[in-house]
Amino acid sequence: MGKKGKKKAKETGTPDVQKFKKTREFWLLKECVTIQESLPFVAVDALDELAFMKVARFLNMVGLLAEHLQVQTKKDYRFNHHHKYLAPTPQFFPFGYDVDCIRQARIVQEKPGVTYNNQEYQFAETLRTLSEKFLKDVDSYMTKIASEIEPRLKDDFATGLKRFKVELKEDLEVFDEMWIKYESEYVKAKHDILSKVFEPVDRLVTLEMMLTQAEERLDVEAKQALENELIRAIEQFARMLIPNLPPEAFPEDVIPLAEACIFYESKCTDEWLHFAKYLIKDYLELRIYISKIPEDRLDPHLKENQQMMRLLKNFHESVLAAKGALDFVSRLPRLIHAKTSNWMTKKVLEPDLRYIQKTAHLALEQAG
């Protein structure tokens, strides 16, 4: 005779409770209680990555419960105060509770400021006070939420499932309000700091955009003035980020003179033309990169943006390599007085970039 199967555990609770026990929402409640038993105190304990993972999992459960209970929340400040140049691109409809907010609150509590690109940016004293209170409140509410859930799981929601959900929703609304109050202040403060960090980047993006508009209008005087302004800003930016650059400064009118080398082709040596074309190629690549920064975003630790660093270094080297050619054409009639059409613009040159790269590469091989 075969062995009898194990007896199925007897279902307890009212019919609506029995039905509720088969839902994801019930599983979330059980997870909250289980995780809370081993949670650290975020205000005072030393937190390693495992501890942060536990806190993150608890916050994830709380966020999902808040969704199930339809806690009305408005967290669009996360999107509105995410800096326009900061990678990655933010969620358009942000929700939940990110453990990084706790990580950042601890940094604010423990340090006077944050360092980007070898410069420290101070936190306001009010934010430090808010951070300390926030961390204590998080500890208090994580304990409270789990302690409200646990007895109801044990007694099959003896006070009534509907009443339990109403009371839990009230607790989550208080938690949500507390979280929003701190996080909204933190993201504003972070945005203010990042606006200072990205100030030189914003100048490059703005100048490049103004230059593109001048090119589209075929306003040659404005084009050349903005080219010079952009090149000065690029030179300053490169010096800020790249160590041990040659002390030699860029000449005046770098791009108008590079364009003049092409116009006065018959008067230039092959070597000068090669350097001018290489300079134009590196300039165009850097401009295209700058124009895409609002879309592609940057790491605020600016040296970590490897493509940007490479393009800045290449352009700096190209300008100095072309100084002889630029010096020669600077003695010829100014381009604005000699040329009447076919001005060098990003729109005209962009489709030809591959061709320019190819010819520059061939010229480099021949020169070598």
- Separation of alpha carbons 136 and 131, rounded Å: 9
Q: Which of 252, 256, 293 is nearest to 276 (CA)?
A: 256
Mean pLDDT for 348-365 is 71
pLDDT bucket at 368, cuts 50 / 70 / 90: low
- Separation of alpha carbons 239 and 200, rounded Å: 12
pLDDT bucket at 95, cuts 50 / 70 / 90: confident
Residue 4 is predicted with a pLDDT of: 53
Residue 92 is predicted with a pLDDT of: 67
- Separation of alpha carbons 185 and 198, rounded Å: 20
Residues with Cβ within 8 Å of 8's Cβ and at least 6 positions away in sequence, in order, are: none
Comparing 10 with 133, the larger pLDDT belongs to: 133
pLDDT at residue 361 greater than cutoff 80: no
- Separation of alpha carbons 303 and 324, rounded Å: 30
Confirm if 300 and 119 have CB atoms less than 8 A apart.
no
* HSE-up (13 A, CA, CB side) for residue 304: 10
Residue 1 is predicted with a pLDDT of: 45
pLDDT tens column, 226-235: 999 999 999 9
What DSSP assignment string belongs to 6-23? PPPPPP-S-HHHHHHTTS
Neighbours of 13 (CB within 10 A): 15
Q: Is 245 helix (H, G, I), strand (E, B) or coil?
A: coil
Mean pLDDT for 18-47 is 94
Confirm if 97 and 65 have CB atoms less than 8 A apart.
no
* HSE-up (13 A, CA, CB side) for residue 57: 18
Residue 351 is predicted with a pLDDT of: 81
Beta bridge mates, 136: none
Share of the chain above pLDDT 90, in %: 83
Q: Is 121 helix (H, G, I), strand (E, B) or coil?
A: strand
Cα of 113 vs its chain's centroid, Å: 19
Mean pLDDT for 59-78 is 92
- Separation of alpha carbons 280 and 75, rounded Å: 46
pLDDT bucket at 66, cuts 50 / 70 / 90: very high
Residue 51 is predicted with a pLDDT of: 96
Comparing 91 with 304, the larger pLDDT belongs to: 304
pLDDT tens column, 278-330: 999 999 999 999 999 999 999 999 999 999 999 999 999 999 999 999 999 99
pLDDT tens column, 112-147: 899 999 999 999 999 999 999 999 999 999 999 999
Task: With both helix axes pointing from N to C terminus, report the angle between 254-263 and 220-241 in degrees, rounded to the nearest 10.
Answer: 120
Residue 352 is predicted with a pLDDT of: 76
- Separation of alpha carbons 41 and 119, rounded Å: 32
pLDDT bucket at 10, cuts 50 / 70 / 90: confident
